[in-house]
Structure 1
């Protein structure tokens, strides 16, 4: 009988323990979850200058973005970002939800949702594959650790205390990144010598392509920082890894540098490629049978177009301008031609052309042009007596164009591609004349 009573007591005690599994220090699971959520909300709201998130939505595909956030305990968040046009503070709602632990969810639209917006021109219909839900994993020092939710882009991201100066500087971050366009190159110096790289940005993922060997490419995502740029993943170049590159004080436009062991990288701006690179006129072949110099607005504002060249070679008056100059190297037996195009009135894209037959040669990697004769096939537009002034002006402009090459035309193939590779051409005789050209 005593054994039966003893077994009954054990079963009763075990049953009591199983019926109260969630009790811990007098609190059940739902109470502990509510307290954890409330604690995270209080932590988020107590930072005097809010929090900073450096977020690479899909590493190895895009670069990174900075978000600054100030939270309230009432479920509101104010946000700015170095995403384009996101420097004005914007308020929205957030919640701390439960999903195997606290889940920070930005429930109404703010700048962080821009990373999900489609980018039609890039054919990115899922945007940059960003997220707006982040699982809280706990503290690491003064940082709050979160995990993203999508499996194919899962990663840890951190909120770290922001500063007042970061809120004031957020616009400058995007500006500094936008400045690194086709007028920058990367110079790598090591014990083995010097190698220059084209800089090709796309959605903050930067490709660095060797000018000596275009199959030699290094890639890294960039995110602007207060003193330069950070790379994620690290930039592997010259046999070394670089996690950041820092602004060089006193340089304008701004240059950047970093050193790892015997390798130094320099992100350098060039205002004049002729000061940095030798001419590449020897890379012109008959296969590239035409250079087209655009007088349209896209090229007018290019850093490769000198105001003097646009004024003296394209502009006619306040209403009229020549549209193109073309160097035709492959013309089915007619020989090389230099021709000028004028957009015919009445709309459309048809041009009236006037051309010279020319000789060209390449010496010291520069291009030299010389006149042979006028090309006999002249468009009727120019033969109309009403357009005689345009015909004479076309002759004058082509003659002056040939004169530009009296000491050679410097040519450098830039990293820019618009329908085809864009080259920078500059007169050695008259260096105030330089212009972009499209090779096809």
Structure 2
């Protein structure tokens, strides 16, 4: 009996020994036994192998700050410390070579070590609008490696710690990159389309509308609900594609998030389609979504008011329509090289009456168009009618070089007047004047 007990104890001890031996072997083989340096070296090799593995390289649509900037498509082809790169940052979509490295720190990171297209987003002296002076496009050229998922490489930007994904590029991505640039005029809109635009969403039962204003320089659009009492917004950064646009953050409709919009050349609309009939469409409208009574304060009998388009500060205002910009450029094209149209100022109920001032830089004398005003209550517009032209205290014929732009302000059907809910560089309220009949809108300061 004692012998049997001794045998059983020996058998148990042998099994435990075998188990511990296997466990120790697995522990020795575990990656958790590797030193931090060994793990980083393994990640370094893993990332480099990934970067070089894709036949056509990688594509990243880089949204640097979705609260104020759009996205920029970059293509990369990596090989032995060299990278071929192209982007749609501007009209130059050519491919350029530079160097990269995979560096070790607290984590593994991809660093573009010599200047190439991606550095255009990180240069603080290269900024799209005055509010980003000293910040540039808020981009980065160092990306922290966070692994791979579904054939995508996951990075986080070094400065802002935002996720950026590299997806495998195709041959078409490289050959069609210039088509991204060709899409820009369709997003901006042109003078042949209606002026007003909206973002319209449909969640399967309800249609919602948001005004839509796009700024080309920043590739950013603001979209605010037009429903009374609603403060809902769908402000979005935009990246161009050969067939439309990608937006970030996504447009949320119901419980779905829509990012990819396809362009329709016939209507000029961009449409994203979800499931169960859910859609979001950026489309044109023949009249403002919200028509205000702001024009009434300009009518006879009210206090004196003035509104000035000042070229130095408002020439790039997003609310200037393409037609307005083209007419302003046409006026300047008729003037000597040292002169330009510096201001258009609309003056109402002054001691000298109502008049439009055309001021010039370069020594040319101011030209005044004296006008009368009337209300079109049906259209909710103010109608300006011709009285006389004068300059230097002398009545003159209509200046031919001002005829086209002045005709828009003198639209027989009147001008919509709107106090905007934003400022540009100064605290002065912004007012827009929009032709009832044509896609003409000019941006002014209340003076």
TM-score strictly above 0.5: yes
Conserved? CA contact 1:354–1:394, under 8 Å: no
How many angstroms apart in 1 are the aligned matches of 2:103 and 2:163? 18
CA, structure 1 residues 132+438, in 2 after alignment: closer, same or farther (shift >3 Å)? closer
How many angstroms apart in 2 are the aligned matches of 1:46 and 1:437? 52
Query: Secondary structure of 1:232's partner?
Result: strand
Residue 283 of structure 1 pairs with residue 299 of structure 2:
no
Query: Secondary structure of 1:329's partner?
Result: strand
The RMSD of aligned alpha carbons is: 4.7
Corresponding residue for 2:3? Answer: none
Q: How far has the Cα of 1:122 moved from its partner?
A: 3.0
How many angstroms apart in 2 are the aligned matches of 1:160 and 1:106? 18
Q: How far has the Cα of 1:67 moved from its partner?
A: 1.6
Conserved? CA contact 1:79–1:110, under 8 Å: yes
Q: How far has the Cα of 1:112 moved from its partner?
A: 1.9
CA, structure 1 residues 203+343, in 2 after alignment: closer, same or farther (shift >3 Å)? closer
How many angstroms apart in 2 are the aligned matches of 1:174 and 1:418? 27
CA, structure 1 residues 260+363, in 2 after alignment: closer, same or farther (shift >3 Å)? farther
How many angstroms apart in 2 are the aligned matches of 1:186 and 1:37? 48
- Give the TM-score of the pair, scaled to structure 2: 0.68
Corresponding residue for 1:111? Answer: 117
Corresponding residue for 1:242? Answer: 257
Residue 199 of structure 1 pairs with residue 241 of structure 2:
no
How many angstroms apart in 1 are the aligned matches of 2:441 and 2:408? 15
Query: Secondary structure of 1:88's partner?
Result: coil
Corresponding residue for 1:9? Answer: none
CA, structure 1 residues 131+393, in 2 after alignment: closer, same or farther (shift >3 Å)? closer
User: Any idea what the Cα deviations from partners look like across 1:338-359, whole Å, max 9, x if unmatched?
Assistant: 3454648xx34x7434453624
CA, structure 1 residues 22+212, in 2 after alignment: closer, same or farther (shift >3 Å)? closer
Residue 95 of structure 1 pairs with residue 104 of structure 2:
no
Extract unaligned runs of 5+ from structure 1: 1-16
Query: Secondary structure of 1:130's partner?
Result: coil
- Give the TM-score of the pair, scaled to structure 1: 0.69
Corresponding residue for 1:408? Answer: 413
CA, structure 1 residues 40+59, in 2 after alignment: closer, same or farther (shift >3 Å)? same
Conserved? CA contact 2:376–2:414, under 8 Å: no
Extract unaligned runs of 5+ from structure 2: 1-23, 190-194
Corresponding residue for 1:421? Answer: 431
Query: Secondary structure of 2:323's partner?
Result: coil
Q: How far has the Cα of 1:76 moved from its partner?
A: 0.6
Residue 367 of structure 1 pairs with residue 382 of structure 2:
yes
Conserved? CA contact 2:373–2:382, under 8 Å: no
Corresponding residue for 2:355? Answer: 338
Q: How far has the Cα of 1:71 moved from its partner?
A: 0.6
Query: Secondary structure of 1:209's partner?
Result: coil
Q: How far has the Cα of 1:409 moved from its partner?
A: 1.7
Corresponding residue for 2:176? Answer: 169
Q: How far has the Cα of 1:69 moved from its partner?
A: 0.6
Q: Which has the higher mean CA deviation after the structures are superposed, 109-118 or 189-198?
A: 189-198
How many angstroms apart in 2 are the aligned matches of 1:138 and 1:403? 58
